[in-house]
Chain A
């Protein structure tokens, strides 16, 4: 299933992460509206340059983990104190130390699965999903700075193009995705 954002995108390809990093900084300083930046590996400093806020995925992970902890601990408590109490080895029904391993494992399991599912969902990815890409070399060795030119005036577009040219893009192209 192809998920198309249905946009016209003007993009420039750079051959080094330092070049695109300075281009992004300049574009933001010039108040140009960046559509997205694509790179073959995480470029350090890009999140600051793009003005991203910190990802909150770890906060979601904490909540999922907590759900796991409670599911395991309260579940075992319910089973062994009210649903079917059995004495094992003379221990009390509510044998808290013996519940720790399973509680720990389910905490990790819930947090991991929850975070991974969240990650793919918010990124719009998943098995069978195809997101259109701008250029095949973006996952290889090119760094791409893209501007959304769907409904912009020719003046504006020329401004984007001029910016890409002056900031060192070695290839400039437009594509409908």
Chain B
């Protein structure tokens, strides 16, 4: 199990952990009484959730007119929030699936929490198209089921329907993938628990024993699910972009949208992972598992995808000018100089210019800077969707129907409310499930633990410590 140890890799698990210590450290938060800080944060999160429930009730009770959408601008904060949340979800699948296929060991520290983030973000995203329907109770009409109206089928040629399939498939597959990874770890918690908790984890662990044959199948299943999730995650935001790209609205009808949306999704998702991880590692004391090395790696992804997004913005501008098509040219002139110019500036500043500071390794490894940047990027990516949706719709073909839109308190409340919904789910998750994948961390310990990797580095860099005895594992 020694594997190949690269001398240039930084350790991914610090603190010279043993297998048992890993179990203790990661199961600990599910076993202790929550801290006061957690309680206060949880109360805040549930308050946000209450705001959400109130605003949904208000929307249904008063009607969709409680939003400021009008005939010209018929998509506003709702669809902006939908795209924003779906985008955030993408980082979880990228970390768990694509990085698994690329054999990136640093994924093991963050994949569990990132996948949880995916699931909760998709739940939040799904709320918006549903509420947007106005008559929520007829939501099941979006599914093609044999009905008494003919049967009259849904329009399989419509990108909005593709979205239904993409989002629901994405949610289901992410949930299955996540839960399959959780089962062995629930078994670890189960075998330490007693009383009611034992019963609860007995149920959650599905009867896992850790048999060699089961592990073999489990690994095979994880690999195939990763292989399926990889094209799936790319397809989901591609299809979300089709909601715009297959229309005939200038500024939306562009072939660059699918790759540009996917890059933006990964970009914003990683920013959200950083926001969550920086808080989680501190609150749950997981600095030995989610190290600066992890944060550095994720910042590199942010830099790469942020730059792709920047190139996409500039390409859009160039192509609109080069197309010679006045409506397209106007759409982009309007984004820069129109009534929503401030959101365009916010988008450019947060998404394109600010991530460039991550060319510096010191800033990539700086927690405060990373946290601030992650918030900037989350805001910037929200602006991006708002620019695409609202500024485009506000100025359509007919100047007589031009309009302006700003959200009502109900729409703002719905957005803030989904933040509450998301935080509530995430905080419950940190209390119930191991936040770091225990079994996976154990399986990379001898390749990435600092007592194995770090020892070589220490010997290489500092000859004074040559006399330090190498312990266990290093020999084989």
A residues contacting B by CB (< 8 A) are 3, 16-18, 21, 36-47, 50, 52, 54-55, 57-58, 61, 65, 75-76, 79-80, 83-84, 86, 88-89, 91, 95, 98-99, 101-102, 104-106, 108-109, 111-113, 115-116, 119-120, 122-131, 133, 136-141, 144
Choice from B152, B217, B242 contacting A84 with Cβ under 8 Å: B152
Structural contact, A139 and B176, CB atoms closer than 8 A? no
B216 proximal to A (CB < 8 A): yes
Tell me which of A45, A80, A115 has the highest count of chain B C-beta atoms within 10 A of its own C-beta.
A115
Q: Write 28 A-B pairs (CB below 8 A) sorted by A numbering.
A: A36-B212, A41-B443, A55-B217, A57-B220, A75-B144, A83-B153, A88-B155, A98-B157, A99-B157, A105-B165, A106-B165, A108-B173, A109-B169, A109-B172, A109-B173, A111-B228, A112-B173, A112-B177, A112-B225, A116-B176, A123-B211, A125-B208, A125-B214, A126-B206, A128-B203, A136-B192, A140-B19, A140-B192
Number of B interface residues, CB 8 Å?
A: 67
Tell me, in angstroms, the Cα distance from A55 to B217 when the chains sit together.
6
Q: Is A140 a contact partner of B176 (Cβ separation < 8 A)?
A: no
Are A57 and B221 in contact (CB-based, < 8 A)?
A: yes
Chain B, Cβ-Cβ closest to A65: B228
Is there an interface contact between A102 and B162, defined as CB atoms closer than 8 Å? yes
Given contacts A43-B1, A101-B162, A136-B191, contact A141 B20 (CB under 8 A): yes
Known contacts A57-B220, A57-B224, A131-B209, A101 near B166 by CB under 8 Å: yes
Knowing A52-B216, A115-B224, the reply to whether A99 touches B235 (Cβ < 8 A) is: no
Smallest CB gap from A112: residue in B: B173
A131 partner residues in chain B, CB cutoff 8 A: 207-209
In B137-152, the 8 Å CB interface with A consists of: 144, 150-152
B interface, CB within 8 angstroms of A: 1, 3, 18-20, 23, 144, 150-153, 155-159, 161-162, 165-166, 169, 172-173, 176-177, 180, 183-184, 187-188, 190-192, 202-203, 206-221, 224-225, 228, 231-232, 235, 239, 242, 438-440, 442-443, 472-473, 476
- Which residues from chain A contact B220 at a C-beta distance below 8 Å? 54-55, 57-58
Chain A nearest CB: distance from B21 CB in Å?
9
- What's the Cα separation between A79 and B151 when bound, in Å? 10
Q: Is the CB of B210 within 8 A of A39?
A: yes
Q: Do A43 and B173 touch across chains, with their CB atoms under 8 A apart? A: no
Q: Are A130 and B156 in contact (CB under 8 A)?
A: no
B19 x A102 contact (CB < 8 A):
no
Question: Which residues of chain B come closer than 8 Å to A120, judged between CB atoms?
Answer: 206
The minimal Cβ–Cβ distance linking A9 to chain B, given in whole angstroms, is 12
Could you tell me if B172 and A102 are in contact, using CB atoms closer than 8 angstroms?
A: no
Contact B157 A84 (CB under 8 A): no
Q: Are B228 and A108 in contact (CB under 8 A)?
A: yes
In the complex, the answer to whether A84 meets B153 with C-beta atoms within 8 Å is yes
* Whole-angstrom distance between the Cβ of A108 and the nearest chain B Cβ: 5
Quick one: which of A36, A40, A126 has the most chain B CB within 10 A?
A: A40
| Pairs of residues from A and B, 4 with the lowest C-beta to C-beta distance, nearest first | A141-B19, A129-B207, A101-B162, A131-B207
**CB-CB nearest in chain A for B219:** A42
Cβ of A75: which chain B residues have Cβ within 8 Å of it? Answer: 144
Name B2's closest neighbour in chain A (CB-CB).
Answer: A18
Whole-angstrom distance between the Cβ of A12 and the nearest chain B Cβ:
15
Residues of A contacting B213 with CB < 8 Å?
A: 36, 50, 52, 123
Inside 8 A of A105's CB, which chain B residues have their CB?
Answer: 162, 165-166, 169, 232, 235
Inter-subunit contact B210/A138 (CB<8 Å)? yes
Collect the chain A residues with CB atoms within 8 Å of residue B217's CB.
Answer: 55, 57, 119, 122-123
Closest chain B CB from A43 CB (angstroms): 7
Q: How far is the CA of A111 from the CA of B202 in the complex (A)?
A: 27
Partner of A119, one of B19, B144, B221: B221
Asked if A40 meets B228 with Cβ closer than 8 Å, knowing A106-B165, A106-B169, the reply is: no
